[in-house]
Amino acid sequence: MNIEKVKNILVFATNNAHKLQEVRQILGERFEVRSLKEIDCHEELPETHDTLEGNALEKAQYVNQHYGFDCFADDTGLEVEALNGEPGVYSARYATVDGADHDSEANMQKLLRNLQGVDNRKAQFRTAIALIYKGETLLFEGKVEGCIATEKHGAEGFGYDPIFYPEGYSPAETDKPLTFAEMSAEEKNSMSHRGRAVEKLVEFLTLNV
């Protein structure tokens, strides 16, 4: 069967090149995944909710209603136990001041400052994906537990990856601890919060293509 005949267009409501690459690698060739830029959507999508699920659904609905494409959107948060779940839904703009652009380096440094002298470094990454597909709306969740490093390690990935040790790779669990930023894309996708959420998305799409 010609793969071109079974491809479906899905819009991923993001222009984040790192996210797009991760998701395209996981989804493979069954779907043509387009970014917001690729459908000529250049406005800032609304994120007015205080939950990951609410923001993901709001973004997917906006694209579907205004551009007519089947669409999925994600929202991801790093939830740190000692900080009562912060930065959570505000992870991407944790250190934002006066509407400045998101700054991953500033976000990491603020988090490390807030955890100075704190022994409890437990944290989890959680991703919520909202999908609107053939008139149906669904939510998928993926999460990975771990802990926050005391300093940055690695140059891969993005966001908080250089300071997050996933469970099974933390200093207390292995002689060679690895942050997400020290892993290959394949290693990270196999265990990451987004990877786990996308796996559930793929499972649904595979059964309903």
Cβ–Cβ < 8 Å for 159, 92 = yes
Two tokens, residue 107: 């976000």
User: 1 pLDDT exceeds 60?
Assistant: no
What are the Cα distances from residue 96, in Å, to 81, 92, 103, 111, 166? 22, 8, 7, 13, 26
pTM attached to this predicted model: 0.84
User: 209 pLDDT exceeds 80?
Assistant: no
99-153 pLDDT, tens digit each: 555 789 999 999 999 999 999 999 999 999 999 999 999 999 999 999 999 999 9
User: 174 pLDDT exceeds 90?
Assistant: no
Q: 31-34 and 8-12: which strand pairing?
A: parallel
For residues 26 and 6, which has the higher predicted lDDT (pLDDT)?
A: 26
Report the alpha-carbon distance of residue 36 to residue 38 in Å, rounded.
5
DSSP H/E element including 193: helix 193-208
Catalytic residues: 75
48-92 pLDDT, tens digit each: 999 999 999 999 999 999 999 999 999 999 999 999 999 999 998
18 falls in which pLDDT band (50, 70, 90)?
Answer: confident
Q: What is the pLDDT of residue 89?
A: 94
